[in-house]
Amino acid sequence: MAKPVFELTFTAGPEHIDELGHVNNAVWVQWIQLIAVAHWDSVAARDHRDAYYWVVVRHEIDYLRAAREGDRITARTWVGEAPQGARFDRFVECVGPDGKLCVRSRTEWAIIDKALGRPVRVPAEVVAPFRTAV
């Protein structure tokens, strides 16, 4: 079964470039977070967005190829197979203008109940739309 994937495009501007002439590693982390939030905002039901927010617990990032100023980066994200309690994996791949993989990541997120102010088990109804949305 194919995984539902969400895409977002970033363009590397001068503000994203480090002293080596590459997109800075911290920028990749920002883009990984931006696409995750955009995916949540585009797929999650309004009542879920009102009731919960997500926090990063862990990032694993492989920096495979450099990107340079002006490069158009296509980022793709999808969620993991199953939540583990309050935690849920999200995957991101960033591809350069040549179609080659620049960065891939696995980020572990924890869901926080806004009213309680603490992590809660990921509700099945929160996960369901991410299984079918494209």
CATH of the domain at 24: 3.10.129.10
Q: What is the mean pLDDT of residues 22-39?
A: 98
**Angstrom distances, CA of residue 37 to CA of 20, 43, 56, 64, 68:** 29, 10, 11, 23, 24
Asked if residue 84 is part of any domain, the answer here is yes
pLDDT at 73 over 70: yes
Q: What is the mean pLDDT of residues 69-95?
A: 97
Asked if residue 95 is part of any domain, the answer here is yes
Q: What is the mean pLDDT of residues 50-57?
A: 97
Strands (E), 5-116: 6-11, 52-63, 72-79, 87-95, 101-113
- Name which of 128, 130, 129, 110 is nearest 120 in CA terms: 110
Share of the chain above pLDDT 90, in %: 92
Q: What is the mean pLDDT of residues 79-102?
A: 96
Q: What is the mean pLDDT of residues 38-58?
A: 97
pTM higher than the cut 0.85: yes
What is the Cα–Cα distance from 53 to 117, expressed in whole angstroms? Answer: 10
pLDDT score at 1: 43
Query: Higher model confidence: residue 96 or residue 131?
Result: 96
pLDDT at 110 over 80: yes
**What is the per-residue DSSP string for 105-128?**
EEEEEEEEETTTTEE-PPPHHHHH
**Which domain, by its residues, includes 96?**
6-132
Asked if residue 45 is part of any domain, the answer here is yes
Asked if residue 1 is part of any domain, the answer here is no
What's the domain count of the chain? 1
Q: How far is residue 77 CA from its own chain's centroid?
A: 6
The mean pLDDT value of the chain amounts to 95
pLDDT at 68 over 50: yes
